[in-house]
Amino acid sequence: MTHSLISPLSPLDGRYAPLVADLAEVFSEHALNRTRLEVEIEWFIALTEHGVAGTQALDASTQSALRALVESFDQTEAAALKAIEDTTQHDVKAVEYYLRGKLAQLGLSHYQELTHFAATSEDINNLSYALMVKRSVHTVWLPAAKAVQGELARLARLWRSVPVLAKTHGQPATPSTFGKEIAVFAHRLGGQIARVESCDYPGKYNGATGTYSAHQVAWPDANWPGISQKFVEGLGLRWNPLTTQIEPHDGQVQLFQALQQAGRVAHNLCTDIWSYISMGYLRQTPVAGTTGSSTMPHKINPIRFENAEANLEVASGLFDTLASTLSTSRLQRDLTDSSMQRTIGMALGHQLVAWKNILRGLGEIDIDADAMDADLEANQEVLAEAIQTVIRAEIVLGNSRIDDPYDVVKGLTRGVRVTPEAFHTFIEGLDISDGAKARLLALTPQRYVGLADSLVDYLEG
């Protein structure tokens, strides 16, 4: 049976393919082979620049022609490479043979033996994956995450003054503003985005066990660590001088942990938005032509956030497995990392689906200020905290002789509904100063939001 995108095994290649198309450009099997070719070509050029084996540096036009091979590596060229791999049964060796053929076409047959010179497959693969991960994060992941964070910041400012009943342990608690609560998520996500941006991408090019043994015996006059460092850093990566056959992946592990935590923050956002919709604090905007339920026509289901939840959970599991597996390699090399790294694109892909669903979902909701206000009005007892705290301050000032203010207010409010009239009567009878009474009598749940509005100003950007 011939595989096609109409019968994909993964939803990333089927249902979600349009959402991850930009990721596939930089993280796919085709992208991997294109990047391997890029690394092989850059190493070839570097060797000639350093005069290895008596070579002469290539002129600018020849270098451009070599680098153009990467730009022109289309599906036809990928198929030609795959035909070579069918014979070699080794993917990196196939890239080497493919490049050898291209060198012959460019009149560089006399330099063919510099292709993959003194290299192990992992010299090519570790740099290729580092480049693909870096490009994926910087060109796809970060823009998608920042779009969500930016929309959250916009909504936080828009709704900064709208009072809302807070819920701690699922129970009515000290009110806040809806904008401030959204600002918390914008701030949290911004912190994780900064953490991802701070990650670097290590790479190595030092041979079969990280000793430059073949390099040194073949051309002992060269400063191989210096050549390696210049080469790796020239690719925009951080050079790792001490490795086994593999680059130990610690940089990738730190990145995956940062990506995972960003996803967990987003997951928490989704569950809270879902809850606010369920409570009626948020309403969803109907989209023409869509169906909420196959049997209940009235429904608008919060599917964007539910879909994002699921995809974030898949991504989190993959990132966790990647981080734990890539942290270990037996002695100087085993092959578990090779298979494991093939799932990096899946983890990034599921998070990308989530980011795009969250962004779309945020654009399809609005607050129901009336519902929020009604809930605040029905829960006057949340003012109990304010009353007992004012009494405490009055006692310290010498304006009150009330014994155990917490217990006094608890007796009035715990587990019961209290009317504004009952509160006013209670406050009028308190042994506190007239100024303190005036502040409490003017208080309502809607006004008991502290500095929530101004706290939104702590959002950056």
pLDDT greater than 80 at residue 55: yes
Q: d(Cα 90, Cα 76) in Å, to the nearest integer?
A: 19
List pLDDT tens digits, range 74-113.
999 999 999 999 999 999 999 999 999 999 999 999 999 9
pLDDT greater than 80 at residue 221: yes
Residue pair 180/455 in contact by the 8 Å Cβ criterion: yes
Q: d(Cα 452, Cα 348) in Å, to the nearest integer?
A: 35
The reported pLDDT for the residue numbered 414 is 77
Residue pair 207/123 in contact by the 8 Å Cβ criterion: yes
The reported pLDDT for the residue numbered 3 is 42
- Joined tokens for residue 272: 């809270």
pLDDT greater than 80 at residue 180: yes
* 3-class secondary-structure state, position 215: helix
In degrees, rounded to 5, the angle at the alpha carbon of residue 403 between the alpha carbons of residues 400 and 408 is 100
Residue pair 33/81 in contact by the 8 Å Cβ criterion: yes
The reported pLDDT for the residue numbered 2 is 40
DSSP output for 156-208: HHHTTT-EEEEEETTEEEEEEEHHHHHHHHHHHHHHHHHHHHH---EE----T
Mean pLDDT over 178-186 rounds to 98
The reported pLDDT for the residue numbered 411 is 80
Mean pLDDT over 397-415 rounds to 87
Mean pLDDT over 166-174 rounds to 95
Phi–psi pair at 210, nearest 5 degrees: 80, 25
Mean pLDDT over 217-242 rounds to 97
Average per-residue pLDDT for the chain: 93
Mean pLDDT over 251-279 rounds to 97
Q: Of residues 423 and 292, which shows the higher confidence score?
A: 423
Burial (CB count <10 Å: 0-12, 13-18, 19+), residue 291 = exposed
The reported pLDDT for the residue numbered 1 is 35
Mean pLDDT over 266-290 rounds to 88
The reported pLDDT for the residue numbered 276 is 97
Q: d(Cα 289, Cα 155) in Å, to the nearest integer?
A: 26
The reported pLDDT for the residue numbered 4 is 46
Catalytic residues: 169, 293
Mean pLDDT over 275-291 rounds to 81
> Which one, of 122, 130, 127, lies nearest residue 252 by Cα?
130
- Domains, the chain, in order of start with CATH, read 11-117 (1.10.275.10), 127-203+248-369 (1.20.200.10), 380-444 (1.10.40.30)
Confidence of residue 6 (pLDDT cuts 50, 70, 90): low
The reported pLDDT for the residue numbered 8 is 74
β-strands 202-203, 238-239 pairing: parallel
pLDDT greater than 80 at residue 304: yes
Q: d(Cα 311, Cα 352) in Å, to the nearest integer?
A: 9
List pLDDT tens digits, range 316-360.
999 999 999 999 999 998 888 889 999 999 999 999 999 999 999
Confidence of residue 417 (pLDDT cuts 50, 70, 90): confident
Mean pLDDT over 47-51 rounds to 96
The reported pLDDT for the residue numbered 291 is 54
The reported pLDDT for the residue numbered 7 is 67
pLDDT greater than 50 at residue 296: no
The reported pLDDT for the residue numbered 293 is 52
Q: pLDDT over 70 for what percent of the chain?
A: 95
- Joined tokens for residue 382: 């949340």
